[in-house]
Structure 1
Amino acid sequence: MHDLDKALADIVAIRSQIARDTAFRGLGSAALAATGVLALATACGQALWLGDPSARPLLFFGLWIATACAAGGLIGIETVRRSRRLHSGLADAMVWNAIEGFLPAAGAGACLAVVIARFAPDEIWMLPGLWQVLVGLGLFASARILPRAVQGAGAWYLLAGLTVLAIASETRALSPWLMGLPFAVGQGWLALVMSNAGGGDGDL
């Protein structure tokens, strides 16, 4: 029985190593492009109907968090479908490896939001830029299993986040466009990268 357990553990370890060393093809361009459009639509909607976002920060960030959840759902559904089709038995391990690469950045973004809102509400204008920086870092961390060109999109998010911080520091006001435009361009860039890498046959 001990030998059987050891053999099973070795198989799991081998599968995990293969998954770590295999290029992840689960991300498709269709969902990525759709999330870019969703970000732009949210920015347009807020610009037209929200009024002054700085006067209603909870609604401003609530809408963006809902947008992020919807975008994550779109990407997640397409990723699982593509992974099961393209990676077969390694699909679950491949998806988990992709999540692991981005999870620290996502967790840091959520923690920053809670801490700033609770202890430094006057600095909440920094969140859009900080979130973009963290997305860039997450993409850099995920580049080991994604096409190398993803690093270009990571650099875009990093530079966009720093630029947003610099611009917003002048007025310390919230702006739908300082959230929507960087994410629309970044997700469009990612969609183009994945399409060129053979990830254009999305399920959407």
Structure 2
Amino acid sequence: MRDLDKALADILAIRSQIAAGTAFRGYGPATVAATGGVALLTAILQFLWLDNPTANPLTFFGGWTVAALLSAALIWTEMRARSRRHHSGLADAMIQQAVEQFLPAGVAGVLLAILLWKFAPETLWMLPGLWQVLVSLGVFASVRLLPRSIAFAGAWYFLCGFAVLVLASQSHALSPWTMGLPFVVGQVLMAALLYFASGENDVED
């Protein structure tokens, strides 16, 4: 029984090593671009219907939380399907590694939001910029699994995060555009980088 357990553990270790050295093809450019559309729609709706985001931070961030969950659901659904097609037996290991790259940044974003809301609500104006910086760190962490050109998208989010912090520091105001536009451009940029790096027509996938 011990020999069987050791053999199974060795197989899992080998699969993990192979997955670590394989380019992840689970992110579909069309779906990544669609998440940029979700960000644009959220920004437009908040611009039209949320008169004063700064006075209604829960509504403002609630809208973006829903947008983030919808985007994550879209990416997760396609990621599983594409991984099954492109990575077959390695699909589960590849998905696990992809999730592990973004998970620390995602958890940090959630905890940071709770912390600021609970203990320092006067600093919530910083959250959009901080979220963008955290997304950049998640993108940079994923470079080893994705085309190296994806680092350009990470650099975009990194620069936007600090630019948004500087702009918001003048008025401490929340704006759907300083939240939305960086994500619209960033997701479309990421989709384009994935598309051209793949060398294939994603529609056929």
TM-score, normalized by length of structure 2?
0.97
Flag structure 2 segments of 5+ consecutive residues without an equivalent. Answer: none
- 1:87 counterpart SS class: helix
- The amino acid across from 2:146 in the alignment is L
1:132 aligns with 2:135: no
Runs of 4+ in 1 over 6 A off after TM superposition: none
Q: For structure 1, list consecutive stretches of 5 or more residues without a partner in the other structure.
A: none
What does residue 201 of structure 1 align with? 202
Residues 55-74 of structure 1 correspond to what in structure 2 (within 5 A)?
A: 55-74=55-74
Contact 1:82 1:203 in 2 (8 A): no
Where does residue 10 of structure 2 map in the other structure? Answer: 10
Superposed, which structure 2 residues align to 1:136-151 within 5 Å? Answer: 136-151=136-151
User: Which residue does the alignment assign to 1:117?
Assistant: 117
What is the CA-CA distance between 1:6 and the residue it aligns to?
Answer: 1.1
Q: 1:8-52, CA deviations, whole angstroms, 9 ceiling, x for partnerless residues?
A: 111111001111111101111011000001101110110011111
Query: Does the CA-based 8 Å contact 1:82-1:202 persist in structure 2?
Result: no
Aligned to 1:24: 24
Amino acid at match of 1:149: S
The residue type paired with residue 33 of structure 2 is: A
Give the structure-1-normalised TM-score.
0.97
Q: Which residue identity does 1:177 align to in structure 2?
A: W
Q: Could you tell me how far apart the structure 2 residues matched to 1:39 and 1:80 are?
A: 22
Question: Aligned AA for 2:202?
Answer: D
Alignment of 1:40-55 (within 5 A): 40-55=40-55
Deviation at 1:82, TM superposition (A): 0.2
Map Cα deviations across residues 87-113 of structure 1 (whole Å, 9 max, x no partner). Answer: 000001000100001100001100100
When the two chains are superposed, the root-mean-square deviation of aligned CA atoms in Å is 1.3
Identity over the aligned pairs, expressed in percent? 59
Q: Distance in 1 between matches of 2:112 and 2:6?
A: 42
The whole-number CA distance in structure 1 between the counterparts of 2:29 and 2:116 is: 34
Aligned length: 204
1:201 partner letter: D
